[in-house]
Amino acid sequence: MSDVPEIRIGTAEREQAMQRLSDHFAAGRLSVAEFDERSAVVAAAMTRADLDTVFVDLPEPVAAAALPAERDSGFLAEWPERVMAVIPIVAVILFFTTGSWLWFLAIPLMGALLFGSRHGRHRDRRGKDKD
């Protein structure tokens, strides 16, 4: 983890170590008691060598390049879902503004327009189509 173990560390290094420790805990490599014990060591660590002792028996983190590419998570990546979430609110506002209940028909109409082309296909959590 370090080149010079006697180098003093700061808050940023302790936070990074706590994040790595949390990742190992989430992966099931540590029990609650081990996590608590090692967290206390990280919080009290003054040098890189103190942090190194916490991770001696744990694997190194996987490089980001080795992980599969994630789907675009930009604001417009899920625009049909975002539009569909707003349609009922717009229908209620237009109902109270105009007094006509016909605005509520926009809800199933927009659902059919936005998601009708996906009929027969299902998407998993990553947004990929499954038949």
Q: What is the pLDDT of residues 44-103, one digit of tens each?
A: 999 998 888 888 988 887 654 455 555 556 666 678 888 888 899 999 999 999 999 898
What is the distance, to the nearest Å, from the Cα of residue 6 to the centroid of all Cα atoms in its chain?
A: 35
Is residue 123 within 8 Å of 130, Cβ to Cβ?
Answer: yes
Pair (94, 58) in one structural domain: no
* pLDDT score at 119: 55
Structural domain includes residue 70: no
What is the mean pLDDT of the segment spanning 32-37? 89
Structural domain includes residue 6: no
Structural domain includes residue 4: no
Structural domain includes residue 5: no
Query: What is the domain range of residue 93?
Result: 75-130
Pair (26, 49) in one structural domain: yes
Residues 111 and 76: their CA atoms lie apart, in Å, by: 18
Residues sharing a CB contact under 8 Å with residue 123, sequence separation 6 or more, in sequence order: 129, 130
Q: How confident is the model at residue 4 (pLDDT cuts 50, 70, 90)?
A: confident
Pair (83, 110) in one structural domain: yes
* pLDDT score at 114: 82
Signed CA dihedral, 121, 125, 128, 131: sign only: negative
Structural domain includes residue 2: no
Structure tokens at 99: 């007094």
CB contact burial 56-77 (16+ within 10 A = b; e otherwise): eeeeeeeeeeeeeeeeeeeeee
Place of tokens 């060598």: 49
What is the mean pLDDT of the segment spanning 3-32? 87
